[in-house]
Amino acid sequence: MEKKDIIQSFKDSLFTGLIALALFGPIVGLRTASKGEGLFITPQWGVVFLLVGLCILGRFLINLNSARKTEITFISKFTSKFSAITEDKAKHFAITAILFAVVFPFLPFTDRYFMDVAIMILTYIMLGWGLNIVVGLAGLLDLGYVAFYAVGAYSYALIATTFGWSFWICLPLAGVFAAFFGILLGFPVLRLRGDYLAIVTLGFGEIIRIILINWYEVTNGPDGITGIPRPSFFGLPFKRSPDEGETSFHLFFNLEYSTMHRIIFLYYLILVLALITNYFTLKIRKLPVGRAWEALREDEIACKSLGVNPTNTKLTAFAIGAMFGGFAGSFFATRQAFISPESFTFIESAIIVAIVVLGGMGSQTGVVLASIFLIGITEMFRDLEQYRMIAFGGAMVLIMVFKPKGILANRKPTILMHGEKK
């Protein structure tokens, strides 16, 4: 490295610092706060100088490494090694993971909090797998997936509270309703190009939420629906003292009553639901319709000329993805026993999309890893909620810049005509 280069990169870093000062100066440096009447400004120059300093230093180091290129190769080398390993071991990994998931509730360190987090992670895994059918396999970016989650949750809640039907009848019904909404939306919009489709689905998600907020007669507005029946163990409720003529779970199996029973049951319920989603996806990928999805994702025009009907094919992906979203929604409703439109905001859709994108669109294992990472690890830093979202968004940008196909890229066709080329 010559002296000239160093001076050059030094100047460049100073320029970066100047820009950083302009960026952070007003927004971070001058914090507005209400005091009595009107707003006042509290300066926070320390933070600004810290951030600007970091930017200058970072830029200088990157320049010193003349780094951009080496950085990219480093990251892609690392991730490709990673995905190569996981691809070889995918089967072992899957079996180990499932075994671990099965024994997890009985491990000595597992307590209530761990179970709750695990249930949440599994819900997101299921949603991720459901969305993966739409985004990963069919290549349709759906930014309103939470709408189907909401439809599932509300149809479960409404049916269960109005008619008092059991969970096992309402669950498939909720799935059917969500799939129906998927078709309703999908039918007109699936002819649209990818980025328009993304915006339209986003609009649809918001419309559903606004309707849920304002349609008091049915949805009870922002107050939400309370008293949603808890699931029963095939007819045996989890109650300490069952009603007349009923046997509850702990009495039937002669166990001592514990609230953990219900939690463990919910855990297995979502585990089974998620695994069904996964199994279904793995199987349907090998069927003609699944292969048509993958082909459409790669080249729509070629598909059209080979006689694949793109609208119908996309519609099946959309409806099936929506159906699993609906299942997950009714699980959510029965677990919470309370739902309100607040649980179904756009940010929820964004989180699910982030999970699928970070995991690598089309990779089932990737979704699991991304969910554990995004939900599980960040759950431990609950206090840093807002920073968590910054990290979410930042990770989405970084992944797109350095590894656009996700950490575990899996865009290989599931079936090849003459076996895999060596």
Partner 1 sequence: MEYFIQQLVNGITLGSIYGLIAIGYTMVYGIIGMINFAHGDIFMIGAFVALISFIIFGLTGVALPIILLLVLLIAMLFTACYGWTVEKLAYKPLRGSFRLAPLISALGMSIVLQNYVQVSQGARVKPMQPLITGGLEFFKNSDFIVTISYLQIFIVILTIILMSIFTYLITKTDLGRAQRACEQDRTMTALLGINVDRTISITFIIGSSLASVAGMMFVLYYGVIDFYIGFLAGIKAFTAAVLGGIGSLPGAMLGGLLIGLIETFWAGYVSLEYKDVAAFSVLIIVLIFFPTGFLGKPDIEKV
Report d(CA 102, CA 105) in Å as an integer.
7
Q: Are 338 and 228 in contact (CB under 8 A)?
A: yes
Considering only residues 52, 126, 189, 228, which one is a binding residue for partner 1 as defined by CB under 8 A?
A: 189
CB of 211 to partner 1, least distance (A): 7
Q: Is 307 left (phi over 0), alpha (psi -120 to 50) or beta?
A: left
Residue 34 as a binder of partner 1 (CB under 8 A): the answer is yes
Residue 28 as a binder of partner 1 (CB under 8 A): the answer is yes
CB of 111 to partner 1, least distance (A): 31
Hey, how many other C-beta atoms are within 10 angstroms of the C-beta on 173? 17
Residue 62 as a binder of partner 1 (CB under 8 A): the answer is no
Q: Are 259 and 277 in contact (CB under 8 A)?
A: no
Considering only residues 5, 7, 15, 40, which one is a binding residue for partner 1 as defined by CB under 8 A?
A: 40
CB of 256 to partner 1, least distance (A): 45
Q: Are 157 and 179 in contact (CB under 8 A)?
A: no
Q: Residue 228 has which token pair?
A: 């949603």
- Give the nearer residue to partner 1 in terms of CB position, either 250 or 403: 403
Tell me which residues in 87-146 interact with partner 1 (CB under 8 A). 139, 141, 143
Considering only residues 10, 12, 23, 75, which one is a binding residue for partner 1 as defined by CB under 8 A?
A: 23
Residue 272 as a binder of partner 1 (CB under 8 A): the answer is no
In 3D, which of 112, 177, 180, 131 has the Cα closest to residue 333? 177
Helical spans, DSSP H, in 299-383:
300-305, 310-336, 346-359, 364-371, 378-380
Q: Are 296 and 303 in contact (CB under 8 A)?
A: yes
Burial-class residue 300 by CB neighbours within 10 Å (0-12, 13-18, 19+). Answer: middle
Report d(CA 329, CA 132) in Å as an integer.
16
Q: Which stretch binds partner 1 (CB under 8 A): 162-170, 183-191, 230-238, 370-378?
A: 183-191
343 DSSP 8-state letter: G
- Give the nearer residue to partner 1 in terms of CB position, either 37 or 244: 37
Q: Residue 182 has which token pair?
A: 């998927």
Residue 15 as a binder of partner 1 (CB under 8 A): the answer is no
Residue 393 as a binder of partner 1 (CB under 8 A): the answer is yes
In 3D, which of 228, 102, 107 has the Cα closest to residue 170? 228
Considering only residues 52, 354, 355, 374, which one is a binding residue for partner 1 as defined by CB under 8 A?
A: 354
CB of 320 to partner 1, least distance (A): 20
Report d(CA 100, CA 119) in Å as an integer.
14
- Give the nearer residue to partner 1 in terms of CB position, either 353 or 375: 353
Residue 203 as a binder of partner 1 (CB under 8 A): the answer is yes
- Give the nearer residue to partner 1 in terms of CB position, either 26 or 288: 26
Considering only residues 390, 412, 413, 415, which one is a binding residue for partner 1 as defined by CB under 8 A?
A: 390
Q: Which stretch binds partner 1 (CB under 8 A): 5-13, 200-208, 237-245, 371-379?
A: 200-208
Q: Identify the bridge partners of residue 42 per DSSP, sorted by sequence position.
A: 31
Q: Are 202 and 143 in contact (CB under 8 A)?
A: yes
Hey, how many other C-beta atoms are within 10 angstroms of the C-beta on 91? 9
Residue 195 as a binder of partner 1 (CB under 8 A): the answer is yes
Considering only residues 125, 315, 352, 353, which one is a binding residue for partner 1 as defined by CB under 8 A?
A: 353
Q: Which stretch binds partner 1 (CB under 8 A): 25-33, 173-181, 262-270, 316-324?
A: 25-33
Residue 54 as a binder of partner 1 (CB under 8 A): the answer is no
412 DSSP 8-state letter: S
Binding site for partner 1 (CB under 8 A): 19, 22-23, 25-28, 30-34, 38-41, 139, 141, 143, 188-189, 191-196, 198-200, 202-204, 206-207, 210-211, 213-214, 301, 346-347, 350, 353-354, 357, 386-387, 389-390, 392-397, 400-401, 404
